[in-house]
Structure 1
């Protein structure tokens, strides 16, 4: 099978793209399923109802430290959806669900172009302010307009004898096309806790979309992963 390559800003990327070192902070929120469905209806995908009338939105900050796309920050709004053609529901269905990427601000131009071109990620350029003191806090804004800020309180360590490896998939939508992106993640240094995240919203249009989901509110769970490695394959067109 021939090796797939993409030229981004004069640099040739050979697939899969490797992220050798990153860390992640995430907060999971229960939101009204009908509001979440309206938000992602353009994708043609169906939100996963983990209980009647409720869907899940993850808000995450990823800090990419070493990888093929360079060093950058990324903020994601991820709505959990069923695989195409599935109307499964319940907690088991949530375990089989995948993230549809609705927002994805970043702070470097190379990853912005690569993300849009190769995978159809909805990346925009934004500014990040990360404060490493306890509690860990970050803000993301565009053009001086605040999108969101989250304050994370420390979670409990999840025991692991070796780094966890997971094969996952993510969905994107760009220029009228829905895509599936396969990726693999190895992680260690995982911490989680109930609640533990305080969300603030600004006046940016993205913030207003998040507010349409009933946010800000208490997170169901929040957590962090201290050491993350990832690989991203080529996207597959779904529709």
Structure 2
């Protein structure tokens, strides 16, 4: 058997050996069903196709999320993401609820608050990371998440308010259901290069509730894009995880624009 040497990347003088590991992170997400045509227009630059579902396949799923990375190979940082669920490039016309369950997440917005993860994200995976400022309301520690306390955050880029989200406490999900390993792909398009990044995650301390989030949009262009989807409107579901353990492998190029 031939040994395969793990790939390495040097970022700001630090050598990262793949896969990159996240050992401790806290997560808050909200899922919104939006107009599929509007979502497609927003990500047309990628060449990917949104995963359509619902009557006439007129809806698409958009996931807004905040991650607080605590113990990772990339350091500690906050990260906000706008993710649109898309079909894999080799099956662009898939659709329906079954296809949605296996769809990948196209990362459209990804502000962060630390320069190291910004450089690593853009260089290794082609993620559209930009620098931002975060204001957090309420603790997002594992104990607070497990305790079901209200949590909120604001994102500002270059002095312009992007959005604010406030999460109501959710109901705990049995650990046996939430802790199943999830294998997923994320997609990105940076400088015309479309990449797919495989990942694996295990969640613990998970809470869900219907709705459960209040979204306010600001004056930044990112906010205008979200408004074009019909947001804010009531989320289908919101969730939190007291911890997310995950790995990210090398990206592979799946297209060029």
Alignment of 1:2 onto 2:5: yes
1:76 paired with 2:76, answer no
How big is each residue's C-alpha offset from its partner over 1:112-155, in whole Å with a ceiling of 9 and x where there is no partner? 00000000000000000011164211001112211111000011
Equivalent residue in structure 2 for 1:148, among 145, 160, 163: 163
- After TM superposition, the structure 1 = structure 2 runs for residues 48-127 of structure 1, keeping only pairs within 5 Å, are 48-51=51-54, 52-86=57-91, 87-127=93-133
TM superposition shift of 1:163: 2.9
Q: 2:137 aligned with 1:131, yes or no? A: yes
Q: Does 1:193 align with 2:196?
A: no
Q: Quick check: 1:164–1:188 contact (8 Å CA) kept in 2? A: no
Deviation larger for 115-124 or 140-149: 140-149
Equivalences for residues 35-46 of structure 1 within 5 A: 35-46=38-49
Distance of 1:128 and 1:54 partners within structure 2: 30
Q: How far apart are the structure 1 equivalents of 2:102 and 2:6?
A: 29
Q: Which residue of 2 aligns with 1:172?
A: 188
Deviates more, 1:101-110 or 1:41-50: 41-50
1:159 maps to 2:164 = no
Alignment correspondent of 1:218 = 234
Distance in 2, matches of 1:164 and 1:132, equals 28
Give the distance between the partners of 2:192 and 2:235, measured in 1 at CA: 32
For 1:54-95, what per-residue CA distance to the aligned partner results, in whole angstroms no more than 9, with x for missing partners?
Answer: 001000000000110000000000000011132111111100
- 1:175 shift after superposition: 1.4
Superposed displacement of residue 34, structure 1: 0.3
Distance in 2 (alpha carbons) for counterparts of 1:13 and 1:207: 33
Aligned to 2:35: 32
Greater helix share, structure number: 2
Q: Decide which moves more: 138-147 or 61-70.
A: 138-147
Q: Name whichever of 79-88 and 130-139 sits farther off.
A: 130-139
Specify the alignment match of 2:26 in structure 1. Answer: 23
1:174 Cα deviation (Å)?
Answer: 1.0
Structure 2 alignment gaps of length 5 or more: 140-148
> Is the CA contact 1:147–1:203 (under 8 Å) kept in the aligned structure 2?
yes
Give the whole-Å Cα distance in 2 for the aligned partners of 1:175 and 1:205: 19
Q: Could you tell me how far 1:50 is from its partner in structure 2? A: 1.9
Unaligned residue ranges in structure 1 (runs of 5+): none
**What is the alpha-carbon root mean square deviation over aligned residues?**
1.0
Deviations 1:30-54 (A, max 9, x none): 1100000000011110001121210
**Aligned residue-pair number:** 239
How far off its partner does 1:164 sit?
2.5
User: What is the SS of the residue equivalent to 2:183?
Assistant: strand
